[in-house]
């Protein structure tokens, strides 16, 4: 029985992270999905209740408390299931994996910012230098993950790996010509495998 409500947009990669976690931890039946359509220039009145910044994903708990930000929600959900944790609970392994998860989120932030710049800003006001800077952030981060962290990512499908998988899926969706696979063949092979997980297949966004 659903005891929580997730404010949900299937095209949001941050919402997808939460959905993947729900699948991976077998908690999907605990959550009712509330569809919302928002953008930086369009909000949703119900979403804004107890979530004044209007962010998605947002998770309303049974007691009415609203959690927002995908990292907060994913960590909350990780504390609610009985299986193996998706992040180490303590010590240096926890901080290391949290840093990798943050790096994956930074890739998503840059990709989403680029999407808004192209899709929402009028052509005559588009800032090409901004787009170039976001692309460079993504390329640096992916190169670092390929060179320094590929073995860690392959060690288990935890919150860091889930975040990166959703980031790569979003690049494929919104920037199909980005060409990250040619530059990072190790990440490409890793993603080809994890993208076939049931949780990833069930959450593929469709335009």
More confident residue, 9 or 181: 181
User: Which residues touch 68 (CB under 8 Å, ≥6 apart)?
Assistant: 51, 53, 55, 56, 57, 58, 59
- The pLDDT, as a whole number, for residue 117 is 79
- The pLDDT, as a whole number, for residue 63 is 94
**Segment 71-115, tens digit of pLDDT:** 999 999 999 998 899 999 999 999 999 999 999 999 999 999 898
Of 70, 89, 82, 55, which Cα lies nearest the Cα of 20?
70
**Segment 2-23, tens digit of pLDDT:** 899 999 988 999 999 999 999 9
Which CATH topology does 4-78 take?
Glutaredoxin (3.40.30)
Percent of the chain with pLDDT over 70: 98
- The pLDDT, as a whole number, for residue 121 is 79
Task: Evaluate if residue 41 carries a pLDDT over 70.
Answer: no
Q: pLDDT grade, residue 120 (50/70/90)?
A: confident
Spatial contact of 21 and 31, defined as CB atoms under 8 Å apart:
no
Compute how many other C-beta atoms are within 10 angstroms of the C-beta atom of residue 14.
24
Strand bridging mode 66-68 / 4-8: unpaired
Q: What is the mean pLDDT of the chain?
A: 92
- The pLDDT, as a whole number, for residue 40 is 64
- The pLDDT, as a whole number, for residue 39 is 63
| Domain residue ranges of the chain, discontinuous segments joined by + | 4-78, 91-197
**Segment 183-199, tens digit of pLDDT:** 999 999 999 999 999 99
**Segment 121-159, tens digit of pLDDT:** 788 788 889 889 999 999 999 999 999 999 999 999 999
Which CATH topology does 91-197 take?
Glutathione S-transferase Yfyf (Class Pi); Chain A, domain 2 (1.20.1050)
Mean pLDDT in residue range 26-34: 96
């Amino acid at each position: 029985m659903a005891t929580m409500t997730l404010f949900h947009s299937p095209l949001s990669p941050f919402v997808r992270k939460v959905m993947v976690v729900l699948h991976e931890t077998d908690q999907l039946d605990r959550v009712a999905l509330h569809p919302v359509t928002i953008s930086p220039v369009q909000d949703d009145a119900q979403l804004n209740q107890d979530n004044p910044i209007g962010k998605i994903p947002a998770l309303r708990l049974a007691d009415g408390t609203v959690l927002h930000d995908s990292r907060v929600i994913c960590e909350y959900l990780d504390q609610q299931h009985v299986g193996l944790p998706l992040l180490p609970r303590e010590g240096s392994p926890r901080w290391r994996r949290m840093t990798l998860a943050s790096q994956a989120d930074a890739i998503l932030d840059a990709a989403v910012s680029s999407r808004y710049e192209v899709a929402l800003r009028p052509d005559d006001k588009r800032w090409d230098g901004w787009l170039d800077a976001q692309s460079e952030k993504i390329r640096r981060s992916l190169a670092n993950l390929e060179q320094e962290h590929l073995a860690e990512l392959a060690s288990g499908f935890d919150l860091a790996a889930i975040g990166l998988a959703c980031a790569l899926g979003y690049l494929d969706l919104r920037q199909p010509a980005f060409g990250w696979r040619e530059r990072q063949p190790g990440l490409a092979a890793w993603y080809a495998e994890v993208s076939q997980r049931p949780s990833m297949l069930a959450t593929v966004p469709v335009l």
